[in-house]
A and B are shown apart, each in its own frame.
Chain A
């Protein structure tokens, strides 16, 4: 299934799907596909996981940022048959403003007791990239940028440069924000090389 392009950047890529997750609501290509009564992030992520219908044990070990990014990638990659696992052709290009601070604070608290390696590993924003790569066997290009505010343009330009100069043919591109106070905002695109 390939939708009509919603947004065209420079000239190397076309957007084939767009996903937004905010205020307990998931919007895919302009349509609400899921919403939950659950105001608390942990409960919302659990509800969304159930909604996707997948069975993936590693999900329950992830921190909130990874769960949010992982579920987003599942929703965007669903039914995209041209993307096969075991590939160098899918790039992951993410940005946010709070880096991994949501988990950093939890790790900081755990230090008073016994510091937990299982929490410490998630004190890096790029771990979500690792989780998505493991799930899909994506070996490709990837980057996590931290921005004061969402600069979609620069991320699309970066995707273009990958389409132009590397093996990349598809890219998950966009904003994956989770604040220390659990405010979340996902604005992700699945792009394909023209």
Chain B
């Protein structure tokens, strides 16, 4: 499987390139939110500015009637969809989201637009997809699961190409939930840091085309090699101390000879997650492999996170750079791993992307650069 065109929409920009440029310069999107729409108390988060979004919507008057989540989704897909035969039943579409249009419950408990499949169909219909869209809702690993499912669908012969889209926006529903768990940091999150005290939430939309056919011409490309999903079988809201599920996901993803040059971690900056992740990475034998965490730039973008972070990590792979972990000052996790603080320039080919989430779910995907 080949990684095709991609797009990221976040507070850092409306294209993958714009996002990558900011990340490489060390700029992040997390800022103090002082309004009352999302929370009664101020909290730091990476939120897409409404007036910035208006500018991008200006030429698409028909999108006025859509929700913010749908607008971001459509704007993201618009940037990659050229050249995709959406009228072919062999083109698949997967939406990854945790809460979709959950904000609509505020006014109406039974609003049909709060149904995730309705949202997916609305987005699919805008572009005229012939195939029925699939929705993946597996908590925080959803975006990475979209890559894995796309690969399996193509392998099974169901589709030739699959468009994956990850999106989530913030609402009082989501923010109050994380606040009730005391999992939000009072400052910008500090992944893998000794003083980390919680995550920062973020919004975003990101999309990628996964092509089934191997490239024949002599151009460089990034391959989606393999992926796996595994459960901790331990606790519904706390990660396993031994990193059981993540360790198993890594083991099942990698085949003999798969060389890992860089790991793009989940790194939420909650005390438990980052410890668990260090344990799993260390158990898998990757204590000396550079680990990079991107939540300091984007916050935790929930259903979009696996796709946003994979795109940035793939772009870094293509440019032989390992991105510094924004927010990390002094590493402090239980197991020995090598988290990268500042950007490092080194030839890299094999990328391992990790995600974990509520329900004890864990996912790993291995990407490989071919030059």
- B-contacting residues of A (Cβ < 8 Å)? 88, 97-99, 101, 104-105, 107-108, 111, 114-117, 120-121, 123-127, 129-131, 133-134, 136-148, 151, 154, 157-158, 160-162, 165-167, 180-181
Contact = CB atoms under 8 A, between A and B. Distances in A.
Contact of B231 (A139, A160, A167): A139
Nearest to B135: A146
A77 B51 CA distance: 54
B352 to A, nearest CB: 18
Given A120-B181, A143-B138, 18 more contacts: A88-B252, A98-B115, A99-B137, A104-B105, A105-B105, A105-B109, A117-B180, A117-B237, A121-B237, A126-B137, A131-B236, A133-B232, A140-B230, A141-B230, A143-B149, A146-B136, A158-B156, A162-B152
Interface of B: 98-100, 102, 105-106, 109-110, 114-118, 120-121, 132, 134-139, 145, 149, 152-153, 155-156, 158, 172-173, 176-177, 179-181, 228-237, 244-245, 248, 252, 357-361
B138 A120 contact: no
**Which of the listed residues A126, A136, A137, A141 has the most CB atoms from chain B within 10 Å of its own CB?**
A126
A154 B180 CA distance: 37
Contacts of B245: 139
A134 B358 contact: no
Interface core residue of A104, A114, A143 (most chain B CB under 10 Å): A143
Given A120-B177, A134-B360, A97 B233 contact: no
Contacts of A125: 137
A181 B135 CA distance: 22
A124 B145 CA distance: 15
Contacts of B234: 134
**Chief secondary structure at chain B's binding surface:** mixed
B72 to A, nearest CB: 19
Nearest to B251: A88
Contacts, number: 157
A103 to B, nearest CB: 11
Contact of A117 (B99, B153, B181): B181
A127 B233 contact: no
Contacts of A117: 177, 180-181, 237
A24 to B, nearest CB: 23
B241 to A, nearest CB: 14
B148 to A, nearest CB: 9
Contacts of A121: 181, 236-237, 358
Nearest to A10: B156
B152 A161 contact: yes
Contacts of B181: 117, 120-121
The winner among A97, A120, A160 for most chain B CB atoms within 10 A is A120
Contacts of A161: 152-153, 155-156
A161 B172 CA distance: 39
Contacts of A145: 134-137
A137 B233 contact: yes
B173 to A, nearest CB: 6
Contacts of B120: 146
B24 to A, nearest CB: 33
B155 A142 contact: no
A162 B134 CA distance: 18
A180 B102 CA distance: 13
Nearest to B100: A99
B40 to A, nearest CB: 11
B138 A166 contact: no
The 8 closest A-B pairs by CB, nearest first: A130-B359, A120-B177, A146-B135, A148-B117, A133-B231, A115-B180, A117-B180, A133-B233
